[in-house]
Structure 1
Amino acid sequence: MTAVVSATAADATRSKPAAAKSPRRGGPVVAGLAALALVLLGWTVVTAVGLVDPLYLPSPRAVWDAFVRANSTHRIADGVDRFVVGEQNYYLWEHLLASLQRIAIGVGAAVLLGPPVGFVMGMVAPVRWLTEPILNFLRALPPLGYIGLLIVWFGIGDTSKIWLLFLAAFPPIVIATLDGVTSVKQDYLNAARSLGASRAQVISLVVLPATLPNVINGIRIATAFAWTTVVAAELNNGIPGIGGLAYIAGTQLNTPLTIACIIVIGVAAMLLDAAIAFVGTKAVPWKGKS
């Protein structure tokens, strides 16, 4: 049976063009840093010459000052000797941590439930026929479409937010798993059976390894969906929360803080995606080999 799995990996490797060569390791990093430098330069020039009103596009320095202020204790300029912590009585990192905790619970539940559901759908056709329309319906709904219903059901606390993040992450994981199971080549299954493998051995030694890369990709997509949903999840009673802080800052026309929150959300999402991708390369070392 190990030979069948090895044949699967070898076939995937041979299917890639021989001329394709991996780029230099430092290439993407250098290109990314160069792109970032160009964006900062253009941003600085536009705001320095006053092409855009600071209300709509503050300078990088103003955004940095808002970031520092949100992570420090500062005095209130109201004639009273008072100090406040960060923004909305929480440091920015505390807002980020609160959002990460909600995402971890919501996406974590989706990671636990999604692959088994997708696997059963892929292996049992009647189950797939019954559940796939429901799954596609959930996937097509925008988060703001049912956040009100979740608040009615679960209140404005963290439960409704976690449910929203779960519903955003669950369909991509299930669909990715389903696609992985249904795309396993029939030749591999027949080869395993011809070698005397039982149904359990075919599933554990052929189907599961072939599906795992799709599952990991589904988790990456689901995590990205959860990040795009976090602001919607934290529209109501979202403090502490980086999405809730971004929303409140926007309603208060505090554009520098809003942009600072957006940047923090983006950077955190990129780092989390890189971590999942790294774990994926370790979990499926046969994928992407040339």
Structure 2
Amino acid sequence: MTPVLPSVRRALPHVVTLAVVLTAWSLVSASDVVKPAYLTPSPLEVWEAFVRANTYHPIGGGVDRVVRGEENYFLWEHLVVSLRRIGLGLAIALVVAVPLGLTMGLFRGFGRVVGPYVDFLRSIPPLAYIGFLIAWFGFYDTSKVWLLVLAAFPPITLATLNGVRGVKEDHLNAALSLGATKRQTLTHVLAPATVPDILSGLRVAVGFAWTTVVAAELANGLPGIGGLAYLSGTQNKIALSVACILVIGLTAIALDTVLRILEKQLAPWRGKA
């Protein structure tokens, strides 16, 4: 019984906050402050839109006409497609960004030459790329994946670079003096020391990728959770659009939680003196 009480205490503020948010949301929706009323769907309407998007349901008032979810896909299927695009974009970004960041950190001259270009890419909003990516790769998944690569690449590169620069030279010299080769020093000292920074950069990159997914799926983005959120908004299906936004946000929180757990497993020494 005793171990349950601390868990209840920790959860209570979150439960209370959620109740306050839902109550305030319901009151605003019921007050008709914003008109037309469909612009402020209630939590119940959003829930009904979520359920509808994940079930078979009749349309047009006829029981013989049944549709599957939204745009012939369940909401979770839209989410899986977006996750696949983001996963592929992050994988490509990691494969390129980590070696580049390591090289920039190990060879200062190379870092000084390449660094401004990485900073330049970091400063450009990903949405700015969408036009010429579509022109180059068309409306299909290739342009979307490359947009997500461009969103995720700079933070991973810079995080890797900072990780290399954060390794004390004394540690590297100590390994060399104990008989380690340069390759062993790189693989057993430098690389493990940069893992926490790489994971931090990956967390930032995942955030950027999620904020970019709607832009990536503006053109021919169905199936896709971002494309569904955009399309439902243009069709005045605000409850469905809000449901998509909530799913995007909750999924981002879940992914970040997984990455934090992974960071603790792969770099348990981080934050410890």
1:26 Cα offset (Å): 6.9
Q: Structure 2 CA distance, aligned partners of 1:90 and 1:197?
A: 56
1:50 to 13, 23, 32: 32
TM-score, structure 2 normalization: 0.91
| Distance verdict in 2 for CA 1:131–1:247, change over 3 Å | same
Residue 29 of structure 1 and its aligned partner are, at CA, apart by 4.5
TM-superposed CA distance for 1:245, in Å, is 0.3
The 5-angstrom pairing of residues 129-168 of structure 1 reads 129-168=112-151
Task: Measure the CA separation in 2 of the matches of 1:27 and 1:223.
Answer: 31
- Give the total of aligned pairs: 267
- TM-score scaled by length of structure 1: 0.86
**Which structure ranks higher in relative contact order (CA pairs < 8 Å, sequence separation ≥ 6)?**
1
Percent identity of paired positions between Structure 1 and Structure 2: 51
Unaligned runs of 5+ in 1: 1-23
- 1:139 and 1:200, CA in 2 relative to 1: closer, same or farther beyond 3 A? same
1:35 matched residue in structure 2: 17
Number of the residue aligned with 2:68: 85
Larger mean Cα displacement after TM superposition, 42-51 or 88-97: 42-51
Please, what is the CA RMSD of the aligned residues? 1.9
Q: What letter matches 1:62 in structure 2?
A: E
Which residue is 1:225 aligned to? 208
Partner of 2:3: none
Distance 2:17 2:126 in 1: 32
Q: 1:113 and 1:44, CA in 2 relative to 1: closer, same or farther beyond 3 A?
A: same
Distance 1:118 1:191 in 2: 23
Q: Using the alignment, how far apart are the partners of 2:109 and 2:145 within structure 1?
A: 30
Name the SS for the 1:113 alignment partner: helix
CA shift for structure 1 position 206: 2.3
CA distance in 2: counterparts of 1:80 and 1:283, whole angstroms? 54
Change (3 A) 1:212 1:59: same
One of 90, 103, 107 as aligned partner of 1:124: 107
User: C-alpha distance in 1, partners of 2:227/2:75?
Assistant: 11
**Corresponding position of 1:114:** 97
